[in-house]
Amino acid sequence: MGLIVQKYGGTSVGSVERIHRVAARALAAQAEGHQVVVIVSAMAGETNRLLGLAEQVSQGAPSGAGIIPDQRELDVIAATGEQVSSALLALAIHARGGRAKSLLGHQLKIRTDSAYTKARILGIEADAVRRALADGAVAVVAGFQGVDDDGNITTLGRGGSDTSAVAVAAAVGASVCEIYTDVDGVYTTDPNVCPSARKIERISYEEMLELASVGAKVLQIRSVELAMKYSVPIHVRSSFSDVPGTWVTGEDRAGRTGAATGSLESIVVTGVACDKNDARVMLVSVEDRPGVVARIFGDLARENISVDMIIQNAAVDAAGRTDVTFTVNKDDLPRVRPVMEALLEKVSAQGLRYDESVAKVSIVGLGMRSHAGVAARMFELLAAEGINIQAISTSEIKVSCLCDAKYAELAVRALHDGFGLGNAPGAKVESHGG
Amino acid sequence: MGLIVQKYGGTSVGSVERIHRVAARALAAQAEGHQVVVIVSAMAGETNRLLGLAEQVSQGAPSGAGIIPDQRELDVIAATGEQVSSALLALAIHARGGRAKSLLGHQLKIRTDSAYTKARILGIEADAVRRALADGAVAVVAGFQGVDDDGNITTLGRGGSDTSAVAVAAAVGASVCEIYTDVDGVYTTDPNVCPSARKIERISYEEMLELASVGAKVLQIRSVELAMKYSVPIHVRSSFSDVPGTWVTGEDRAGRTGAATGSLESIVVTGVACDKNDARVMLVSVEDRPGVVARIFGDLARENISVDMIIQNAAVDAAGRTDVTFTVNKDDLPRVRPVMEALLEKVSAQGLRYDESVAKVSIVGLGMRSHAGVAARMFELLAAEGINIQAISTSEIKVSCLCDAKYAELAVRALHDGFGLGNAPGAKVESHGG
């Protein structure tokens, strides 16, 4: 008994038949005595279709040049995907004899700033949800969308429906935010890369954040941040089965009891992730004098470019020069290049190198805080496979190594099994949707 | 120089290329010094696609029975069609270097009652339009949709974008409401039926209302009513050419000067229309006593069924019995039948007959008010073709005759040419889109 929020992704509402399956699940939860709020994404493929249409119109200028579409109008278009799926789900619930009411971002309302296509939630006025629930209805909320103070429609960025769901769950004081997806939980690593990957029963917000930030794609990072801030328990599970998935909760509740095998490794590392979206940039032979590095990263920051890993060689050559290496998101490279070229002379460097075939492999685990030697063990495991480490970055509960992209999968398997994350021999590997 | 409202139907915005043509036209009007508000329909076929999806979901109940979809949710779904086309048009205008801003029903806002799928406009708060215009932008308004006082999305019924356009034109004090469509104006009759049909230069609101109510489909009736109420001149024209179309204006401005040929007929009748959507219902041999007829039409009214033509034979037979005949819209027949069967005994009638193969042929013209004999001339023209008249109804500026549906086209041609509406011999017949 309680108030639960369920969020269904695009695949889960991708057809009339699947929408009915979602309706049945929401009504089943209601029949168990819960008040139910459902957040839906657009039907799979719909957002791309809509934005494709916008792109065509914007490229269709008579000059043939095309321009970047206005982001306010893109949001007006994109928001229709969730508008349609929320009303369709309400209709499906009606068709099954239930009560339901669709609620859009501007009706709910989900107040955001005006950063179109990537707006942030400022607050939620959930009276309309409470009224629908009091009326015995399932409140079906269009995810991904909000409204700014001037009544303009905004969207929260790709995967934003997760954030909508957690925000609504926090606003109405839900006991759980269930995120239904096409996989049945969060895995120790990508099962497509590592067959011995297994589903994690419970994981802390902090670990989930680190995993999400280094390449695990099950949950949008912002949704986990929000869940942590408001202590909303998340349950990531499959919309195609009733099997329990992965609980993402506060650290105190995330203590893993069943998985303890007594070995160091099985405790300290929770998951292994891999991210191939970074590119490595190297400024060759830079003068090693005060202020040079600050200038480089200052210029990048002014262009709003996020730098991930940074390595400055300790070794300075006879001429007092060194190399500066860092990584950025590949998507940012077109903006990085002009900044670097302008810097080349200013810091009197001798050259620029870019490498897009790199991968960042990371291990994440709360246990690292109290266990020394985890990073060293990681380097050993990679060295044993002959994998050269190009850069390293660490946080309290994460170690990331940059390596040649061709070794990415090998590195993931070596770390996953080296830290004892795999199934016991002979254990059944659960199927995984992708 | 002034403020003009342009409305484009679904065919006019049916493709990326056509949306750009509309953008070009709006910018051309702006370049001439006008402030421009554009109202758009959904891209052709989109509303049907969306409602089809809703129908599928509602019919997809596990019982297989299907239910009537909730109309609130239908409106949420249907409104997305105009939401997308308005933002696409704004993007197209941007792509051509212009300024534009899309405005939805709840942003504008277009306040309506809560009669989902057929809401009526209560008022328009056009500040957002004025702000966009003051900013030098084309205000692109999503047609067909509004918002009720509780923030629910409503739609105005099929063809509702015409009504949106006229209402917005009235609210902002536009000098003209241009209705762009796939035909180049209002014709004296359907050119597909009568090759000698010609475009009308000017027509009064009253005549347009009568023509629309008897089958001419160029404008939604409510939009003409609204234009008449607020004296908004309407210019119906083709979105595919620059040829002037038909002006629908107040009677004083609609005086036709050019068309006068000196003959009676060319003055009194403005257009001929034909409507095949009616069915004839006959209650056979009803007792001719006070209150019987009132009972019949009272029962129909209670079911909210509109009755069009009514004929009660003056002749009463020896047993004091007579027949009662009337017409209703064919779509209402499923609701009419049970009412009539219940009445059969109550008024002790001897039988019921339905005839769906009837057509209502009408002539419309302001001049009828001051010319006697127009109806008689109509009956003569039909009689000359051997067409039997089953029922007659008249208004101040209209005469309608019900006849066998198989004579419909013949009747239209006979009346059109008999009242001198055709082109002069040898005159070029303008092409007509459908």
ipTM of the complex: 0.81
Q: Determine the angle formed by the axes of helices B205-213 and B221-230, rounding to 10 degrees.
A: 160
- Residue A434 predicted with pLDDT over 70: no
**What is the pLDDT, as a whole number, of residue A263?**
40
Give B112 to chain A, closest Cα distance, Å: 16
Eight-state DSSP code of residue B406: G
pLDDT digits (tens, 9 = 90+) for A149-185: 999 999 998 779 999 999 999 999 999 999 998 888 9
Chain A positions in Cβ-Cβ contact with residue B87 (cut-off 8 Å) = 54, 73-74, 76-77
Q: How far apart are CA B304 and CA B203, in angstroms?
A: 32
Q: Cβ–Cβ of A76/B91 closer than 8 Å?
A: no
Type of residue at B273: A
- Residue B264 predicted with pLDDT over 60: no
Q: Cβ–Cβ of A83/B83 closer than 8 Å?
A: yes
**What is the pLDDT, as a whole number, of residue B315?**
66
Lowest mean pLDDT across B158-162, B206-210, B407-411: B158-162
Q: Cβ–Cβ of B66/A95 closer than 8 Å?
A: yes
Q: How far apart are CA A254 and CA A210, in angstroms?
A: 15
Q: In a mutagenesis test of the B interface, which of A76, A101, A135 is the best target, namely the one with the most B β-carbons within 10 Å?
A: A76
- Residue B256 predicted with pLDDT over 80: no
Q: Cβ–Cβ of B96/A54 closer than 8 Å?
A: no
Q: A3-8 and A153-155: which strand pairing?
A: unpaired
**What is the pLDDT, as a whole number, of residue A429?**
38
**What is the pLDDT, as a whole number, of residue A239?**
86
Q: Cβ–Cβ of B73/A60 closer than 8 Å?
A: no
Of all residues in chain B, the percent with pLDDT exceeding 70 is 91
Chain A positions in Cβ-Cβ contact with residue B106 (cut-off 8 Å) = 106, 151
- Residue A258 predicted with pLDDT over 50: no
Pick B88's closest partner by Cβ from A54, A90, A101.
A54
Q: CA-based Rg of chain A, rounded to a whole angstrom?
A: 24
Chain B positions in Cβ-Cβ contact with residue A53 (cut-off 8 Å) = 16, 84, 88
**What is the pLDDT, as a whole number, of residue A252?**
63
What the block records as the tokens of B241 is: 């050419």
Average pLDDT over residues B257-267: 42
Q: Cβ–Cβ of B54/A92 closer than 8 Å?
A: no
pLDDT digits (tens, 9 = 90+) for B319-352: 778 888 899 999 999 999 999 999 988 888 899 9
Average pLDDT over residues A76-94: 98
pLDDT digits (tens, 9 = 90+) for B79-89: 999 999 999 99
Chain A positions in Cβ-Cβ contact with residue B66 (cut-off 8 Å) = 95
User: CB pairs below 8 Å between A and B: how many?
Assistant: 142
What are the residues whose beta carbons fall under 8 Å from the beta carbon of B57, sequence distance 6 or more? A16, A19, A20, A88, A91, A92, A95, B69
Better pLDDT: A24 or B323 = A24
pLDDT digits (tens, 9 = 90+) for A279-304: 999 999 888 777 888 888 899 988 88
**What is the pLDDT, as a whole number, of residue A77?**
98
**What is the pLDDT, as a whole number, of residue B265?**
39
Lowest mean pLDDT across A20-24, A94-98, A244-248, B282-286: B282-286
- Residue A144 predicted with pLDDT over 70: yes
- Residue A256 predicted with pLDDT over 80: no
pLDDT band of residue A424 (cuts 50, 70, 90) is very low
Q: Cβ–Cβ of B16/A72 closer than 8 Å?
A: no
**What is the pLDDT, as a whole number, of residue A314?**
64
For residue B364, give the nearest of B257, B223, B209 by alpha carbon. B209
Q: In a mutagenesis test of the A interface, which of B40, B46, B56, B76 is the best target, namely the one with the most A β-carbons within 10 Å?
A: B76
Q: B35-40 and B3-8: which strand pairing?
A: parallel
- Residue B431 predicted with pLDDT over 50: no
**What is the pLDDT, as a whole number, of residue B53?**
95
pLDDT digits (tens, 9 = 90+) for A312-366: 666 677 777 888 889 999 999 999 999 999 998 888 889 999 999 999 999 999 8
- Residue B259 predicted with pLDDT over 60: no
- Residue A89 predicted with pLDDT over 90: yes
Q: How far apart are CA A342 and CA A357, in angstroms?
A: 24
CB B23 within 8 A of CB B13: no
CB B6 within 8 A of CB B180: yes
Q: Label each residue of chain A as H, E or C.
A: CCEEEEEECCCCCCCHHHHHHHHHHHHHHHHCCCEEEEEECCCCCHHHHHHHHHHHHHHCCCCCCCCCCCHHHHHHHHHHHHHHHHHHHHHHHHHCCCCEEEECHHHHCEEECCCCCCCCEEEECCHHHHHHHHCCCEEEEECCEEECCCCCEEECCCCHHHHHHHHHHHHHCCCEEEEEECCCCCECCCCCCCCCCCECCEEEHHHHHHHHHCCCCCCCHHHHHHHHHHCCCEEEEECCCCCCCEEEECHHHCCCCCCCCCCHHHHHCCEEEEECCEEEEEEEEEECCCCHHHHHHHHHHHCCCCEEEEEECCCCCCCCEEEEEEEEEHHHHHHHHHHHHHHHHHCCCCEEEEECCEEEEEEECHHHHHCCCHHHHHHHHHHHCCCCCCEEEEECCEEEEEEEHHHHHHHHHHHHHHCCCCCCCCCCCCCCCC
Q: Is B381 helix (H, G, I), strand (E, B) or coil?
A: helix
**What is the pLDDT, as a whole number, of residue B251?**
76
For residue A132, give the nearest of B72, B79, B115 by alpha carbon. B72
Q: How far apart are CA A227 and CA B37, in angstroms?
A: 44
Per DSSP, chain B holds a count of helices (H) and strands (E) of 13, 20
Q: Cβ–Cβ of B60/A152 closer than 8 Å?
A: no
What are the residues whose beta carbons fall under 8 Å from the beta carbon of B396, sequence distance 6 or more? B368, B369
Pick B87's closest partner by Cβ from A16, A73, A97.
A73
Of all residues in chain B, the percent with pLDDT exceeding 90 is 67
Average pLDDT over residues A212-239: 89
**What is the pLDDT, as a whole number, of residue A391?**
87
For chain A, give every domain's residue range: 3-55+71-253
Better pLDDT: B59 or B38 = B38
CATH of domain B3-182: 3.40.1160.10
pLDDT digits (tens, 9 = 90+) for B344-400: 888 888 999 999 999 999 999 988 887 778 888 999 999 999 999 988 888 889 999
Lowest mean pLDDT across A308-317, A415-424, B207-216, B369-378: A308-317
Pick A61's closest partner by Cβ from B57, B96, B107.
B96
In the CATH hierarchy, which fold is given to the domain comprising A3-55+71-253?
A: Carbamate kinase (3.40.1160)
**What is the pLDDT, as a whole number, of residue B239?**
86
For CA atoms A260, A264, A265, A269, the dihedral sign is positive
Q: Is B394 helix (H, G, I), strand (E, B) or coil?
A: strand
Pick B77's closest partner by Cβ from A54, A88, A96.
A88
Chain B positions in Cβ-Cβ contact with residue A59 (cut-off 8 Å) = 95
Burial class (CB in 10 A: 0-12, 13-18, 19+), B226: buried
**What is the pLDDT, as a whole number, of residue A261?**
38
Mean pLDDT in chain A? 88
Tokens 């279709």 label which residue? A49
Q: How far apart are CA B319 and CA A150, in angstroms?
A: 74
Mean pLDDT in chain B? 88
What the block records as the tokens of B406 is: 């198989």
Average pLDDT over residues A97-110: 96
Instruction: Using CA coordinates, name the residue in chain A closest to B67.
Output: A95
